Amino acid sequence: AQKITQTQPGMFVQEKEAVTLDCTYDTSDPSYGLFWYKQPSSGEMIFLIYQGSYDQQNATEGRYSLNFQKARKSANLVISASQLGDSAMYFCAMREGWAAGNKLTFGGGTRVLVKP
Amino acid sequence: GAVVSQHPSRVICKSGTSVKIECRSLDFQATTMFWYRQFPKKSLMLMATSNEGSKATYEQGVEKDKFLINHASLTLSTLTVTSAHPEDSSFYICSARDAGGVHNSPLHFGNGTRLTVT
């Protein structure tokens, strides 16, 4: 079974509008972390935002916010006021457990194209 | 912020030769580094977990004799693709997490290496 599922392979968004990228996960570990990364066409992976399984508040980082619904096992990324530079691939990822050596498992990604 | 340097960024080699990719954590120590492979328009697939001073842990289906990993210090891991073939052509990305980081510290990624085997 997939541990991280991103159901939207690609989407268009109008500049200055908000966009929500879906992510659902599957784990039996009560301690886990959820991450979102952005990958522009140049290939580098840019860390955007983090949500821990015990965090009571939804994470926010500038224009990025995470809609964390623990019971539904979803961690959707919301990008507000989209900019042309937001066009990229976006990956949701999960780390099970807190150890530094624990791997990150990635979802299939969502390609976002911001239209002017 | 934490920086991971990966070299080379791009390499073209002939079939049958070996290629070494270096991954360095520049301003932090990493007891563990991770090597991912990414096919065009696909996600990152973990190949192996590189542990400083010990053998790497390979994911199922990854040939350890094909993809040699050495993690000789707290700041350097290398991936050697041995006897490369065209099907090894891909984008390889390394990543590391600060050994002193807390649970919410992210993986920091290198800029990747695009390998083309002719």
Beta pairing class for B90-96 and B32-38: antiparallel
SS (H, E, C) A25-73: ECCCCCCEEEEEEEECCCCCCEEEEEEECCCCCCCEECCEEEEEECCCC
Judge whether B92 and B50 are in contact, CB under 8 Å: no
Q: Tell me: pLDDT of B3 over 80.
A: yes
Q: Tell me: pLDDT of A84 over 90.
A: yes
Q: How confident is residue B54, by pLDDT bands cut at 50, 70 and 90?
A: confident
pLDDT score of A102: 84
pLDDT score of B1: 65
pLDDT score of A100: 65
Chain A partners of B112 at a C-beta cutoff of 8 Å?
A: 43-44
Instruction: Out of A50, A52, A106, name the one closest to residue B44 (CB).
Output: A106
Pairwise CA distance, residues B80 & B90, whole Å: 14
Residues in contact with A15: Cβ distance below 8 Å, sequence separation at least 6, in sequence order: A82, A83, A84, A114, A115, A116
Judge whether B110 and B2 are in contact, CB under 8 Å: no
Q: Tell me: pLDDT of B104 over 90.
A: no
Q: How confident is residue A70, by pLDDT bands cut at 50, 70 and 90?
A: very high
pLDDT score of A1: 64
**Closest CA in chain A for residue B5:** A44
Rounded to an integer, the average pLDDT of A12-27 is 97
Are B95 and A103 within 8 A, CB to CB?
no
CA-based nearest residue to A111, from A35, A19, A17 = A19
Instruction: Out of B107, B112, B114, name the one closest to residue A104 (CB).
Output: B107
